[in-house]
Amino acid sequence: MSGQDPSTGRYPRTIEDGAGSRLTFLGHAHDERGERLDVVSHVAPGHGPPPHVHHLQEEAIVVREGRLAWSVDGGPDQIAEPGDRVVFAPGVSHRFWNAGDEDLVCEGTVRPPDNFEWFLSEVYASTRANGGRRPRAFDGAFLLTRYRSEFEMTAIPAPVRRLVMPLQAAIGRLLGRYGHFAGAPQPRRA
């Protein structure tokens, strides 16, 4: 991970996923709607997160360069061009990806930040350690089980999320695979 340690609160801080995408945390700010986390994202062509939900956070994205494709709740694909703004409400399954041939550059906000920065930092670190494909299996099970009140990967079938991943997380604990998650923040609840 480049930039500063998230525990220091120094910004900007950049994380990379090992597959050509990076996210820079610019810092926290307050306005009439409360606290938010400001970010800049560079997404490689064809890349983007799988369908997911932020149960507690609103995610807003403004396209600065490139073409952003996105969909909500498995609906039709839509395109956002430079200057366009896309907002994903809390609790809504969504995905987005770079629909162009050049890097997609977006500015975004997440409100409230809750564990968004910590969670994505760990997901990116595990993905990078796994060759940029996806988070390592035990890491993914830990993160998606512990933080299920905040984040959910809807691309993973519900029986796997509800039964297999908690079992895998328990096995990971028994095997001592989670020392690097010592000091993990408490999950937020609605």
Total structural domains in the chain?
2
Classify residue 152: in a domain, yes or no: yes
Q: Which domain holds residue 140?
A: 116-177
Asked if 52 and 144 touch (Cβ cutoff 8 Å), the reply is no
Cα distances (angstroms) measured from residue 117 to each of 51, 150, 184: 18, 12, 12
pLDDT at 41 over 70: yes
If asked whether residues 21 and 100 sit together in one domain, one would say yes
- Using CA atoms, how far apart are residues 163 and 46, in angstroms rounded to an integer? 31
Percentage of the chain exceeding pLDDT 90: 92
Confidence band, pLDDT 50/70/90 cuts, at residue 6: low
Write down the pLDDT at residue 110: 98
In this structure, the number of other CB atoms found within 10 A of the CB of residue 45 comes to 15
Do 89 and 157 belong to one domain?
A: no
For residue 65, being part of any structural domain is answered with yes
- Residue 10 and residue 97 in one domain: yes
- Examine the pLDDT at 42 and tell me if it is beyond 90: yes
Tell me the whole-structure pTM to 2 decimals. 0.92
**Residues 103-147: pLDDT tens digits?**
999 999 999 999 999 999 999 999 999 999 899 999 999 999 999
Residues 171 and 122 in one domain: yes
**How confident is the model at residue 1, as a pLDDT?**
34
